Amino acid sequence: MKREKRTPKYLGSVRFYRHLIVGAVLGSLFLSTGLAVFFGVENHQLKGAATVSVEREDALAPVEMVLPDGVAAEESEIAYQNAHSTLYAGERDFSFAPDREKTVYLTFDDGPTQRTGEILDILDQYGVKATFFVIYRDDEASKELYREIVARGHTIGVHSASHDYGKIYQSVDSYLADFEQIYQQIYEVTGVRPDLFRFPGGSVNAYNMDLYQEIIAEMLRRGFVYYDWNVGSGDTMRGATATAIADRVVAGMPAKRGIVLLHDSANKDQTVQALPQIIKRLQAQGYSFAPLDRMVRPCTFGYQSE
Is residue 235 part of the contact set for Zn ion (CB under 5 A)?
Answer: no
Q: Among residues 42 and 110, whose Cβ is nearest to Zn ion?
A: 110
Burial pattern 23-44, b for ≥16 Cβ within 10 A else e, equals eeeeeeeeeeeeebeebbbbbb
End-to-end CA distance of the chain: 59
Contact characters 50-89, Zn ion, x per CB under 5 A = ----------------------------------------
Nearer to Zn ion, 81 or 205 (CB): 205
Decide if residue 110 touches Zn ion (CB under 5 A): yes
Question: Residue of minimal CB distance from Zn ion?
Answer: 109
Q: How far is 182 from 233, CA to CA, in rounded Å?
A: 26
* DSSP state for residue 17 in the 8-state scheme: H
Shortest distance, position 159 Cβ to Zn ion, whole Å: 6
Closer residue to Zn ion, CB minimum distance, 92 or 110 = 110
Question: x/- string (CB under 5 A) for Zn ion, residues 196-215?
Answer: ----x---------------
Using CB under 5 A as the binding rule, whether residue 254 contacts Zn ion is answered as no
- CA pseudo-torsion sign 273, 276, 281, 287: positive
> Binding to Zn ion by residue 109, rule CB under 5 A?
yes
Nearer to Zn ion, 134 or 282 (CB): 134
- CA 143 distance to own-chain centroid: 24
CA-based angle 229:212:266, to the nearest 5? 50
Contact footprint for Zn ion (CB under 5 A): 109-110, 200
